[in-house]
Structure formats: structure tokens, C-alpha cells
Amino acid sequence: MPRVVVQGRTAPAAAVLPPSAAPRFTALPPLSLYVHVPWCVRKCPYCDFNSHPARGDVPESAYVDALLADLEFALPSIWGRRVVSVFIGGGTPSLFAAAAIDRLLAGIRARVPLAPDAEVTLEANPGTFERERFAGFRAAGVNRLSLGIQSFEPRQLKVLGRIHGADEARAAAKAALAIFGNVNLDLMYALPGQTVAEAEADVAAALAFAPPHLSFYHLTLEPNTLFARHPPPLPDDDAAADIEDAVHAAVAAAGYRHYETSAFARSGHACRHNLNYWQFGDYLGIGAGAHSKLSLPDRVLRQMRWKQPQKYLDEVARGAPVQDEVAVGKRDIGFEFMLNALRLTDGVAAALFAERTGFALSIVERERAEAVRRGLLDPDPTAIRATALGRRFLNDLQALFLQDGPAPSPRPAAYP
């Protein structure tokens, strides 16, 4: 196979597509920036993200230097494009000092044009809460905080391996709302041994803060996690469905719109960064293990940075932060679009498919017709939208768009 050089290294020539398989864009999609901080205090037993327990001092300054160098290496692929949102995820970004986040954001602003109203989110752990630190993040330019509560129940926090207690969670939520206003509280349900009443108590505790945004994730056993190796006693499928219905009903009754599979928001507070993912916008991911999806005039690229933090630092120093880069082929791009867009309760306009993939919607017409026949997809030709049944069986609906065997199953590094 011929080789091409990608950011100072050699890679298979998959990044070059024949003209017949190349997308045609009338305009490039909106662009977001994801920044990954890979360290946390302790690895949670359910977590399959690229996170590593901090042992000793985290190389904070060197890592910020590497992130900014990584961004500079990526500039040719995004040159002149405005960044509409920034999401600093992890790991636990709130481990970093406010001064480090300030230097990071100042460096980003110096290198790429940020939209004047850009949403800048930082993930935080209540176990790292300090009012002064949170205020420092706000002064640095973070205008949205995503707080990883997971549960307000002490027993569940212990089972989930969280480093904070219920009182710390409440104190952090109260301070976050006072300092930022624009806050997401991130919780989970269908937890080990959880009952409907316990889940409803968690919802009530979250709603008592009246945050503008809430995320509720169904706990699943992901491969290569402690929970996968030693499964806890989870609610069975029927009990989990009852818990999910109760959670969704309680949040809806409080006036939140269920706009995405796991996300609920008050009017005007949907997460713009995540909406760009679901609407198949572009995102540049920098940092250890970060993923990117970038549209160029003749192809759509997916990239992954080196995962291990020290390896990432070493490779950035060599000028080669990207470990893998491939062009998304015509066979896979329809599935990838549907994997994202069908998470949205309202779906998307059918015209968005050609706009964001560079291909006509007809490339998935057979799969779309089958989804409509099964009652999983709305038959409206002007929209791509799951039915209520399709939202209930979303994995089955998305799988219909797989063509010719396995395809990549990309996901952004963070959702809240």
C-alpha cells in the first residue's frame, strides 16, 4: 500500500480518496474544539474514558505547553475556521489550577478565532471543589461548568468509587450555580441495587438546585472497566426501564426539555458543543487520546492522538501528536451521521445529511426505508427523526445503517 506523511509520521494512504468516493461540500460544518485532560484522582470502576490516576504531581505546565503545540500542528487543517465552542474534559480538568486553565484558554484564543459567544465548558469533580478555584476558572473564561455528581446517595457514591460525598456534591452544585449560572449536573441511573424511589430521590435532589441543564446516563458495563470484570448487581431490564421512565417523567414535569438521549435543558440552555457533535459538525480534539472529526474540501478525516499521557507528551515534542488518521469512506459516513443525529429528540432536517457528509441522502435510502417500515424512523421525507419506538430501541435503529459488516463506532470524548 502506498504511504503518505501525516504530521511528521507515515500512515496508510487511506486519507486519499478516489474522486468517485470523495464528498462534495458546499460549506464546511461548524467547528468545535475538545481539550482532553487525562488525569483524575482515582479511576472510577465504570469509566472507560482515557483517564489515569494521578500519581504524584501532575505535569500541569508541560501538558498545557503540549496542548498548545498540538493545536499549532493542527492549524493547517482548520485554517481560517471559527471555533464555536470549547469543551475541556477528562479525566478531571478541575485538578488543574485556575492559572493553568487561564494560560490554556489564552493560548487557544491567540491561535484560533473563537466566536464572540463561544460556549466554553469545563468538567469538574465535586471532590476537587474549592470556591476560589471555581471563581478562577470563571475569570479565565470558562462560562459553563459540567459537574460530575453521579448520585446524591452516599451508598451509591461509595459503590461508584467517587471521591466526593453527598454534602460535597451539594456544596459544589450550589457554588457552581452561584459562580457560573450556566451549569450542567451530571447524574447516572439504574445503579447497583437502585430502586425507582431511590432514583426519584436523586432527581429531586438535582432539581432542587434548578440547574439550567441536566444529564442522566444509564449505567452500562463498558469493556475494560472494573465493573466489566466484577459486575455489580444491577437492576434487570424491566426494573431499569421503570427507573428510566420515572427519571424522564420527573425531569419533564419540572419543565426541562428532553432534547437528546441523555440530556435535558431549560429553554436556551442546550449544550451547544454537544449539539454540534449530534448534528455532525466538526471537532478538533487535542490532548492525550483525543479524537477529531474534520471535514476538508475533498474528504472527512478522523484522527486520534496518542493515548498514554507520557507518550503523548513525547510525541508532541517530536511534532507528531496524531497516532492514527483515516478518511471516512462513503460506506461508513451514513452510519456515522445517523449514529449522531438520531440521538436528538427532534432529529435533524433531511437536507443536513448532504450538507454535513458531502453525499446525497440516497446513499442510505435502502436502510432508511427499512427503518421506516419497522416503525423506528419517521416517514417524513423532510426530516431524519426517530419515532418514539425508535428512541426506545435506538441501538437497533442505528445498527440498520451499518453497511457491509463492521464499521467504526466513534464517539466524542465527552458528552455533558
Indicate whether 409 belongs to any domain: no
- Whether the upstream peptide bond of residue 91 has omega within 30° of 0, thus cis, is yes
**pLDDT tens-digit series, residues 65-87:** 999 999 999 999 999 999 999 99
Indicate whether 197 belongs to any domain: yes
8 A C-beta contact, residue 263 and residue 270:
yes
Question: Cα separation of 398 and 53, whole Å?
Answer: 34
User: Which CATH number covers residue 251?
Assistant: 3.20.20.70
User: Do 259 and 379 share a domain, yes or no?
Assistant: no
- Between 412 and 394, name the one with better pLDDT: 394
The C-alpha cell at 349 is: 432536517
Indicate whether 7 belongs to any domain: no
Indicate whether 14 belongs to any domain: no
**Residue 74 parent element (H or E):** helix 60-78
**Residue 162 parent element (H or E):** none
8 A C-beta contact, residue 303 and residue 76:
no
At 310 the three-state DSSP class reads helix
User: Do 263 and 345 share a domain, yes or no?
Assistant: no
User: Do 365 and 264 share a domain, yes or no?
Assistant: no
Pairing of strands 52-53, 83-90: unpaired
Query: If you compute the radius of gyration of the chain from its CA atoms, what whole number of angstroms results?
Result: 21
User: Do 262 and 396 share a domain, yes or no?
Assistant: no
Q: Is the pLDDT of residue 96 over 70?
A: yes
Instruction: Summarize the confidence of residues 354-373 as an average pLDDT.
Output: 96
Please identify, among 260, 276, 292, the residue that sits at the C-terminal boundary of a domain. 276
User: Do 212 and 344 share a domain, yes or no?
Assistant: no
Indicate whether 238 belongs to any domain: yes
Q: Identify the CA nearest to 64 among candidates 96, 90, 32, 39.
A: 96
Q: Which residues contact 169 (CB under 8 A, 6 or more apart)?
A: 126, 149, 152, 157
pTM assigned to the model: 0.91
**pLDDT tens-digit series, residues 240-290:** 999 999 999 999 999 999 999 999 999 999 999 999 999 999 999 999 999
> What φ, ψ does residue 376 adopt, rounded to 5°?
-95, -20
Instruction: Summarize the confidence of residues 308-335 as an average pLDDT.
Output: 96
Indicate whether 320 belongs to any domain: no
8 A C-beta contact, residue 147 and residue 183:
yes
8 A C-beta contact, residue 148 and residue 126:
yes
| The 3-state secondary structure of 121-140, one letter per residue | EEEECHHHCCHHHHHHHHHH
Q: Identify the CA nearest to 315 among candidates 327, 304, 323.
A: 323
Q: Is the pLDDT of residue 10 over 50?
A: no
Question: Cα separation of 61 and 217, whole Å?
Answer: 33
What is the predicted pLDDT for the residue at 11? 35
User: Do 75 and 158 share a domain, yes or no?
Assistant: yes
User: Do 103 and 173 share a domain, yes or no?
Assistant: yes
What is the predicted pLDDT for the residue at 20? 57
Residue with cell 489515569: 52
**Residue 326 parent element (H or E):** strand 322-327
The count of domains in the chain is 2
What is the predicted pLDDT for the residue at 404? 61
User: Do 216 and 131 share a domain, yes or no?
Assistant: yes
Instruction: Summarize the confidence of residues 135-162 as an average pLDDT.
Output: 95
pLDDT above 90 coverage of the chain, percent: 82
**pLDDT tens-digit series, residues 161-183:** 888 889 999 999 999 999 999 99
Q: What does the mean pLDDT of the chain come to? A: 91
Q: Is the pLDDT of residue 403 over 80?
A: no
Q: Identify the CA nearest to 280 among candidates 364, 347, 360, 214.
A: 347
User: Do 239 and 383 share a domain, yes or no?
Assistant: no
- Positive or negative, the Cα torsion across 132, 133, 139, 145? negative
Please identify, among 233, 259, 276, the residue that sits at the C-terminal boundary of a domain. 276
Question: Cα separation of 211 and 181, whole Å?
Answer: 8
Q: Is the pLDDT of residue 146 over 90?
A: yes
User: Do 38 and 104 share a domain, yes or no?
Assistant: yes
User: Do 262 and 346 share a domain, yes or no?
Assistant: no
Please identify, among 242, 259, 276, the residue that sits at the C-terminal boundary of a domain. 276
Give CA separation, 183 vs 146, 326, 358, in Å. Answer: 6, 35, 35
Indicate whether 265 belongs to any domain: yes
Q: Identify the CA nearest to 290 among candidates 13, 32, 28.
A: 32
Q: Is the pLDDT of residue 14 over 60?
A: no
8 A C-beta contact, residue 380 and residue 347:
no
User: Do 270 and 152 share a domain, yes or no?
Assistant: yes
Question: Cα separation of 226 and 244, whole Å?
Answer: 24
Task: Please give the residue range of the domain that contains residue 190.
Answer: 24-276
User: Which CATH number covers residue 338?
Assistant: 1.10.10.920
Indicate whether 5 belongs to any domain: no
Q: Is the pLDDT of residue 16 over 90?
A: no
